[in-house]
Amino acid sequence: MKSRIHGRSLALAVPVIAAGVTAQAGTPDLADVRLGERDSTITRIVLDLKGGEAPFSYSLSPDGMTVTVTLKARASKTAVPHHGTGLVRAVESAPGKSTAQISIATAAPVSVIGSGKLAPNGEYRFHRIYLDLGPSGGAPAPQAVMAAEAVTAPGAVPLPAEEPHADHAEMAAEHHAEHADHEGHGEGHGEEHHAEPVVTIKLGGSFERSVSDYTNSGGPTAALETGLLHDALELELGTTALLKDSHTTWKTGLILKKPFELTENLEFQLGAGPLWFHRAYRVEDESQTDSAGVEGVAEMVMWPTEHHSLGLYLETGYSYDFGKGHEKAAGAGAGVLIPLP
């Protein structure tokens, strides 16, 4: 009876992940809001979207002092870390599970002179929505926000290379960074945007308990992880050396995982995928030296460092060996995650 229950649980793992992907693939996360001055009169607002693009609309208040952007994206922050840059004095967001609303307060009446979407490229891994704000009609442009009033250099927008005013944005970013450091405002006024790593190294240890013969095994684990579909999914390729009675079995797996972000530094992942078992010892039936299998996993990931330079993970799993004996095992593991840019 227990075997049937475990088998059904494993069979349900993939549909559960697929359902989560289907439900959330069309609703990306609002990762960050960035501000930058394209020149002395134009301020660009960029919304970074993690997990795909999103439809958006905007409206301008009658007095021209507030721009409201509405987009189909999840937002978990009640306020974004920007006090102002250029024409913008403050930015706030209203959190929502499927729709986010960004309120932009300006220093003088403005008009939206341009808007659009930017796809990910070699420098940026996110989809982006941008709005360019300029003075409304004959209204004079306000004085630029000083570094002491602004947030930090990450608030400035390094515009893509294809934009004609990219050099102005980069110079503005450097200018704000220098003044922020000089005035002591380089920290503590907002969150920095954490770029997603290209590859993450996973190192740790695993322990397994056979449900078939109630024996124990364990050993070191090493794996590589990378994001797919703009980090809506993660793919892990790893191997574990399971030591039991002076015998070693290598368990190698390709696991597709769906991450669920709980907080900025904590996430939960569900995954499943194929396994390959290699028994590095002599067995009675040589045809059973190698066999295929499948595994379902659940994992908690925590990033205790400020810049996500080192992570910790704790995972549980259940595996099924298609080889002779059809061995089933429940396991757990823990270790560190080292992201590589």
The torsion defined by the Cα of 204, 205, 210 and 215, in degrees rounded to 10, comes to: 170
pLDDT tier for residue 283 given thresholds of 50, 70 and 90: low
| Helices marked H in the chain | 2-24, 166-183
How many structural domains does the chain have?
Answer: 2
Mean pLDDT over the full length of the chain: 74
Is the same domain home to 36 and 140? yes
User: In whole angstroms, what is the distance from residue 46 CA to residue 124 CA?
Assistant: 12
Average pLDDT over residues 41-56: 85
Q: Among the ranges 98-107, 158-167, 176-185, 218-227, which has the highest mean pLDDT value?
A: 218-227
Is the same domain home to 111 and 204? no
Average pLDDT over residues 89-107: 80
What range defines the domain where residue 61 resides?
29-183
User: In whole angstroms, what is the distance from residue 65 CA to residue 58 CA?
Assistant: 13
Average pLDDT over residues 291-311: 90
Instruction: Give the CATH number for residue 170.
Output: 2.60.40.3500
Q: Is residue 23 part of a domain?
A: no
Is the pLDDT at 305 greater than 60, yes or no?
yes
Q: Measure CA 40 to chain center.
A: 34
- What count of Cα atoms within 13 Å lies in the side-chain half-sphere of residue 304? 5
Task: Count the Cβ atoms, other than its own, within 10 Å of residue 260.
Answer: 11
Instruction: Say what the pLDDT of residue 122 is.
Output: 61
Pairing of strands 199-210, 56-60: unpaired
Q: How deeply is 229 buried, as exposed, middle or buried, from its count of CB atoms within 10 A (0-12, 13-18, 19+)?
A: exposed
pLDDT tier for residue 23 given thresholds of 50, 70 and 90: very low
DSSP for residue 140: P
Among 183, 204, 222, the domain-final residue is: 183
Is the same domain home to 44 and 88? yes
Is the same domain home to 290 and 254? yes
Is the same domain home to 117 and 237? no
Q: Which residue has the tokens 């499948």?
A: 294
Among 157, 183, 209, the domain-final residue is: 183
Predicted TM-score (pTM) of this structure = 0.51
Task: Count the Cβ atoms, other than its own, within 10 Å of residue 285.
Answer: 8
Among 137, 164, 183, the domain-final residue is: 183
Instruction: Say what the pLDDT of residue 175 is.
Output: 41
Provide the 3-class DSSP secondary structure of residue 154.
helix
Task: Count the Cβ atoms, other than its own, within 10 Å of residue 213.
Answer: 9
Q: Is residue 305 part of a domain?
A: yes
Provide the 3-class DSSP secondary structure of residue 263.
strand
Q: Are 178 and 216 in contact (CB under 8 A)?
A: no
Buried b (16+ CB within 10 A) or exposed e, 135-146: bbeeeebeebbe
Task: Count the Cβ atoms, other than its own, within 10 Å of residue 127.
Answer: 21
